[in-house]
Amino acid sequence: MTRIYIVEDDRELLVFLMRALKSEAEVEGFERGDEALVALRREPPDILFSDLNLPGLSGETLAAEMGRLAPSGRVLLMSADGERLRRAKPLADGILPKPFSIPDVFAALRMLRD
Question: Which superfamily, per CATH, for 3-113?
Answer: Response regulator (3.40.50.2300)
> Is 26 in contact with 2 (CB distance < 8 Å)?
yes
Rounded Cα gap, residues 57 and 34, in angstroms: 5
The pTM assigned to this predicted structure is 0.96
Position 50 scores a pLDDT of 98
pLDDT in tens, 21-66: 999 899 999 999 999 999 999 999 999 999 999 999 999 999 999 9
pLDDT of 114 > 80? The answer is no
Phi, psi of 7 (to 5 degrees): -120, 110
Position 46 scores a pLDDT of 97
Q: What integer is the mean pLDDT of 98-108? A: 96
Domain ranges of the chain: 3-113
Rounded Cα gap, residues 114 and 110, in angstroms: 6
β-pair partners for 3: 26
